[in-house]
Amino acid sequence: MRGALSGLTTRGRCLLAAGIAAALCALVLNERDLLRVAIFAVALPVLSAVLAAGARVGLVALRHVLPERVHVGNAAEVRVELRSTGRVPSGGLLLEDGVPYALGSRPRFVVERMSRKSSVGLRYPLQPVLRGVHQLGPMRARITDPFGLAEFERELGGTSRLIVAPKIVGLSGLPVGAGLGTGDDGAIRLRTGQGEDDAIVRQYRHGDDMRKVHWRSTARRDELMVRVEERPWRGGIAVLLDARESAHRGSGPSSSLEWAVSLTASICLHLHRHGQHVRLSTEDGHALAGGQSDGGHSDTEVLDALAALRPSHRRDLACSNDPGSGRELIAVLGATTPSAVHELIKYRQRSVRSLAVLLDVKSWAGSSEEGAADPQEVARLLTSAGWGVMIADARTPMTTVWTRLCHSTADRMAVGKGGAAW
């Protein structure tokens, strides 16, 4: 009884107090009619509280999320089945489901009356704007009686999980050279005669092995040319995502980190669909997907890993070994300093293909920042180390970034400022 009376509203408490006061006056004045009114005034809120408490006990909510995994910008639907299992019919119900702000506003429903042993189906849409592993619920029900004298709040059912994967952009083509594609990586293919293997040559770069100088093409072009050994790559491709919080700008769905995560997910799925084995890792070497010995992964593994990814609190890049683990490497980097670039490249061999997307994070911050590293300077350092580089800002389409990265070479730096020519 005490638990039931605790649910009385202000109106119910006032009516109960008035009934008690009227009963005392009726006893003092010996007024039987007033006593009858007092008994009614006391019994009505008490009975309403008991009935509302009984209805609260007999409610169950079952939630279904369709689908359980969705991409940013796509819609999902939640279906809730509300059942009344008690012996007492439920009066007015105000229902509210717990929905994170990244999935939309919290839905509210009003159910006028539920008879005993009945059920009601409810549904509402979700429009995710931010990736993550989101929890829905619990659903809260506010139960009142028809007179508004008693009110109870109860949690119905548990929570449900919705995985919101990054937005995927359709890409086309593969990077040239070195087993990623069919191009020649800026080199020249010479057919010297029948029965002799083709030779792929390029201009000599500082640090190249002199034993690889192709003297016939050197004499023909009057400049040093070296032979490029084109071998099919069976070790897979490594994709590195710079998830440092300090390396990105902006907040929410429009931040540079979310842009980088979306590009990384698009690259991994695109390469995997072309039969490539991809290993996805963060700047600290932690493998998010494809950590098996064969370097393979599934699309679901990549999407789930990136959906749950949280920014790292590392201040700078610090590699203790080759970030690509001997594989060809595609790195998506935020704000990077020249010293961090040296950490990134010092373990990389020039003979292994390395590509990088540099984010000009100032365009996501909305204003210039003092002391921020110039991406052009970082790009020159990577290019001199034999990397193919593409600089992207907030206005550069991801398809443009990928297309230009695919055709970049160690001797050419692609600069994508708002889709400008490179």
* Percentage of the chain exceeding pLDDT 90: 44
Q: What are the tens digits of pLDDT across the range 214-243?
A: 888 888 888 888 876 554 444 588 999 999
Residue scoring higher pLDDT (91 or 186): 91
219/217 Cα distance (integer angstroms): 5
Backbone angles phi, psi at 404, to 5 degrees: -70, -35
Q: What pLDDT does residue 302 have? A: 93
Strand order in the sheet with 119-126: 59-66, 76-84, 119-126
Residue 186 pLDDT exceeds 70 = no
pLDDT band at 1 (very low <50, low <70, confident <90, very high): low
Helix (H) or strand (E) holding 302, with range, is: helix 299-307
pLDDT top residue among 411 and 170: 170
At 254 the three-state DSSP class reads helix
- Taking the complete model, does pTM exceed 0.85, yes or no? no
Q: In whole angstroms, how far apart are CA 281 and each of 59, 89, 325, 330?
A: 46, 56, 11, 11
Q: Are 48 and 16 in contact (CB under 8 A)?
A: no
Residue among 203, 268, 258, 283 at smallest CA distance from 237: 268
Q: What is the mean pLDDT of the chain?
A: 82
Q: pLDDT by residue (tens digit) across 115-156?
A: 777 888 999 999 999 999 999 989 998 888 878 898 888 888
**Rounded to whole angstroms, how far apart are CA atoms 129 and 164?**
9
Q: Peptide bond before 311: cis, by omega within 30 degrees of 0?
A: no
Question: For residue range 9-24, what is the model confidence (pLDDT) as tens digits?
Answer: 999 999 999 999 999 9
Q: Residue 364 pLDDT more than 70?
A: yes
